[in-house]
Amino acid sequence: MVRFVIRRLLLAVTTLFAISVITFLLFFAVPSSPATVMCGKQCSPEQIAQTEHRLGIDKPIVEQYGTFVKGIFVGRVIGEGDFIRECPAPCLGYSFRTDEPVTDILGRTIPVTVSIVFGAAVMWLVIGVSLGMTSALKRGTVFDRFAIGVSLVGASLQVYFFGLVLLLVFVYSTGLLPTPSYTPFTENPGKWALGLLLPWITLGFLNSALYARLSRAQMLETLSEDYVRTARAKGLTKRKVYIRHALRAAITPIITIAGLDIGASLGGTVITESIFGLQGLGRTAVKAVGDLNLPIVLATVLVAAAFIVFANIIVDMLYAVVDPRVRLG
């Protein structure tokens, strides 16, 4: 187990390194310069050159990359003359636009996305998995048909449609819920939950549709397994057969997929954040790409990649815990 974790962590570092290099190269492959975007069309070439110099993007790419990596591990000093910023490790640079440390921006936006994703994940796992399992046990009944119908609708809906309908109904027409907003959990848990309720329902419902179908299929497959027949042949009660024997086995692949889904969502739920006006990681990343705001683009890409890489490691470890046949080595 320990060897496995060490090996996977080394692999993760390599992956993140490769991703940062690729992002850097891609950024400089874009034909327009951040300086042009920042000061607009009326800028003279001298002004642009000056801005580029101030941002530090006039240096060779390799040198810039070296500075970036050095900043992460030992910190660095940004700017020159009367524009000097101390940037302690782990330094991800300053935003080209707002002159704010990228780490601060991440610190502000990651909790928003994390809150959205975890709330939604709880919803989709609880609703989706219980709906799917129940409909597998009641296969062919009205309940099953209804559940399949609902999940088909859910799977065909899109966040930007369903989310807007919810906003229209619950906020603008009836005023039952406040406009979605983010309040830190530590400040006021009630307000935190209330402000994120709509994004949770939106993401939660749409994903639970998928999870309902997935868990129904898993459960049906497991129910036809020989060991479930054995459990029944032993004379175990239905409850024990379904929960201890069938569900236990059916849940394993769902854990895997949920882990990866959550990891990928943590990198940013762009559409959900945009629709509900929440300043999360996804929206920040998209805006940074439009602004050619290199430090933020780099940071958000790396954070998203790190979430996915670590979700993978955690899922693999969970797998070994759940299934005794899996040995990590």
308 binds another protein (CB under 8 A): no
Query: Between 316 and 323, whose beta carbon lies closer to another protein?
Result: 323
Is 325 a binding residue for another protein by CB under 8 A? The answer is yes
Which of 9, 227, 277, 290 is in the footprint of another protein by CB under 8 A?
Answer: 227
> Tokens 């992002």 correspond to what residue?
23
- Does 40 help bind another protein (rule: CB under 8 A)? no
Is residue 224 within the footprint of another protein (CB under 8 A)? no
CB of 263 to another protein, least distance (A): 24
> Of 9-17, 184-192, 242-250, 278-286, which segment contacts another protein by CB under 8 A?
242-250
Does residue 100 touch another protein according to CB under 8 A?
Answer: no
The residue among 82 and 226 lying less far from another protein, judged by its C-beta, is 226
| Closer residue to another protein (CB): 7 or 145 | 145
- From 123, 267, 111, 113, select the one nearest 186 (Cα to Cα): 111
For another protein, which is the closer residue by CB, 70 or 229? 229
Contacting range for another protein; rule: CB under 8 A; set: 42-50, 61-69, 103-111, 226-234: 226-234
The span from the CA of 119 to the CA of 114, in Å, is 8
Residues near another protein (CB under 8 A), total: 20
For another protein, the closer of residues 53 and 244 by Cβ is: 244
Dump the DSSP string for 246-270. Answer: IIHHHHHHHHHHHHHHHHHHHT--H
Q: How far, CA to CA in Å, does 18 sit from each of 52, 102, 105, 125, 312?
A: 26, 20, 23, 33, 17
Q: Interhelix angle for 189-223 vs 102-123, to 10°?
A: 50
For residue 235, state whether it binds another protein (rule: CB under 8 A). yes
Does residue 232 bind another protein (CB under 8 A)?
yes
C-alpha neighbours within 13 Å on the C-beta side of residue 41: 0
Min separation Cβ 231 and another protein, Å: 7
Question: Using CB under 8 A, which of the segments 91-99, 160-168, 221-229, 283-291 binds another protein?
Answer: 221-229
Candidates 5, 161, 229, 243; binder of another protein (CB under 8 A) is 229
- Alpha-carbon dihedral angle through residues 229, 234, 239, 245, given to the nearest 10 degrees: -50
Decide if residue 248 touches another protein (CB under 8 A): yes
Among 73, 230, 243, 290, binds another protein (CB under 8 A): 230
Shortest Cβ 226–another protein spacing (Å): 4
List 74, 233, 277, 290, residue binding another protein (CB under 8 A)? 233
- We find the least distance from the C-beta atom of residue 235 to another protein, in angstroms, to be 3
Q: How many CB atoms lie within 10 A of CB 4?
A: 15
Q: What is the DSSP letter of 85?
A: E
Q: Does 249 bind another protein (CB under 8 A)?
A: yes
How far apart CA 178 and CA 222 sit, in angstroms, is 43
280 closest CA partner among 180, 145, 201, 175: 180
What DSSP state is assigned to residue 225?
S
Structure tokens at 187: 């400040």
Cβ pair 273, 113 in contact under 8 A? yes
Rounded to an integer, what distance in angstroms lies between the CA atom of residue 188 and that of residue 138? 41
- Mapped onto helix, strand or coil, the DSSP state of residue 101 is strand
Considering only the C-alpha atoms of the chain, give the largest distance between any 2 of them, rounded to a whole number of Å: 86
Residue 70 binds another protein (CB under 8 A): no
Nearer to another protein, 81 or 324 (CB): 324
Q: How far apart are CA 237 and CA 76, in angstroms?
A: 66
The reply to whether 225 sits near another protein by the rule CB under 8 A is yes
Binding residues vs another protein (CB under 8 A): 225-227, 229-237, 240, 245, 248-249, 322-325
